[in-house]
Amino acid sequence: MSGINDALRAAADQFGTPLYVYNSATITGQYEKLVKAFSGHKTRFFYACKALSNVSILRHIHSLGSGLDCVSINEVRLGLHAGFAPGDILFTPNSVTFEELIEAKDLGVNLNIDNISLLERFGATFGGSYPVCVRLNPHIEAGGNYKIQTGHIDSKFGISIHQLRHLERVVKGTGLHVKGLHMHTGSEIKDVGVFMRALEILFDAAGRFPELDFLDLGSGFKVPYKPGDAETDVDALGVQVAAAFKTFEKEYGRPLECWFEPGKYLVSESGYLLVNVAVVKQTTATVFAGVNSGFNHLIRPMFYDSYHHISNLTNPKGTGRLYTVVGNICETDTFAWDRLLPDIRENDLLAFHNAGAYGFEMSSSFNSRTRPAEVLLEGGQLRLIRRRQTFEDLLAGQVDAEVVVQA
């Protein structure tokens, strides 16, 4: 780790803190791991860019051969701007207007529609002239925190598998061409059996749609957050998926592609949030290490109760002491309670690990504190890929209210 730690310290010296740093080599390694694991069957990967949508990151992932999974029309525009071809972009929104679907259609991307009313309207308008994918809800509870589960019965995502008969009627009645079926059950899935149960449900549904080109299992691959932490065994999953597809394709009568949409899996471990310790404050019960950041920069510990390993890059061999690491926001923004860390002094440089996914992407300017810069470590070089937000940026877009005179 000394090499990456040296690079992180250099990044903090050059660009200041708070600062997000991403290691492109880690992203490449994760993508190559997936390609190897699923080499037994034709499989395509679409990076879920909601995890981290910086254009420089998108261009790097595009260079690896990945497609792109988008959940908003602006993500689609970002993907096209980054160089992805329309056919390599999958648009998987929810609770959007029909007009947003039309805009995505006009851009030529793959549409993944997740409710019957929009499917019916799309089919009535375009018939089978523009093939679509359909997102199903398998009613499988999978993954960790309930907030990141998307396949349970109360989820807003997808069309219930119990509505397949209704779905068939809409397809037949409007002449829709369904070219793919999709489901995503959640994140942090350790048990590969969850994916296989979902695949069996897709296979069962696929028999009702004779013109399919692919089945999409979403993602949810777990990454480790601490030493010894479990992760999804993608190698074992790849073997099982290949065997299952081979068996099903004999029954279906034609080959099908398998699609996945990894987001966190590709970028989480690549990212670090660097902060400086502003104060060390001892109370009657706790020693606080207060840093020059907060949940406006990394909300996951507060929002999902997520664990992020913390390194003291200034004093890595210091005596271990218990600290509660907190931010500078006027709310409770605790990154870690009672964490054993090398002795922390004011101005020490700390690194939050696994900050590449849903870190900067979910950041805000709450308390009128500015967003941090982003830096890409690539080929041993540090490259600024987003400048630090300024006070002037906070004012951008604001206008003085005009007085409306009523007659």
Mean pLDDT of successive 10-residue stretches along the chain, which has 407 residues: 88 98 98 98 98 98 98 98 98 94 98 95 96 92 49 72 94 97 84 91 95 95 89 96 97 97 97 98 97 97 94 97 97 96 98 98 97 97 98 93 68
d(CA 311, CA 318): 11
Catalytic residues: 330
Question: Which segments are annotated as binding site?
Answer: 220, 300, 304, 331, 358
Residue 1, pLDDT score? 46
Residue type, position 398, single letter: Q
Q: Which CATH class is domain 93-260?
A: alpha beta
Residue 140 pLDDT? 78
Q: Which two tokens stand for residue 56?
A: 């420089």
- Extents of the domains making up the chain: 93-260, 268-395
pLDDT at 293: 98
CATH ID of 268-395, from 1.10.10.10, 2.40.37.10, 2.30.42.10, 1.20.1280.50: 2.40.37.10
Other beta carbons within 10 angstroms of residue 123's beta carbon come to 22
d(CA 125, CA 157) in angstroms, rounded, equals 23
Report the alpha-carbon distance of residue 358 to residue 353 in Å, rounded: 12
Output the known binding site for pyridoxal 5'-phosphate.
Answer: 220, 358
Q: Which residues are annotated as a binding site for substrate?
A: 300, 304, 331, 358
Residues 11 and 381: their CA atoms lie apart, in Å, by 10
Task: Give me the pLDDT at residue 149, please.
Answer: 42
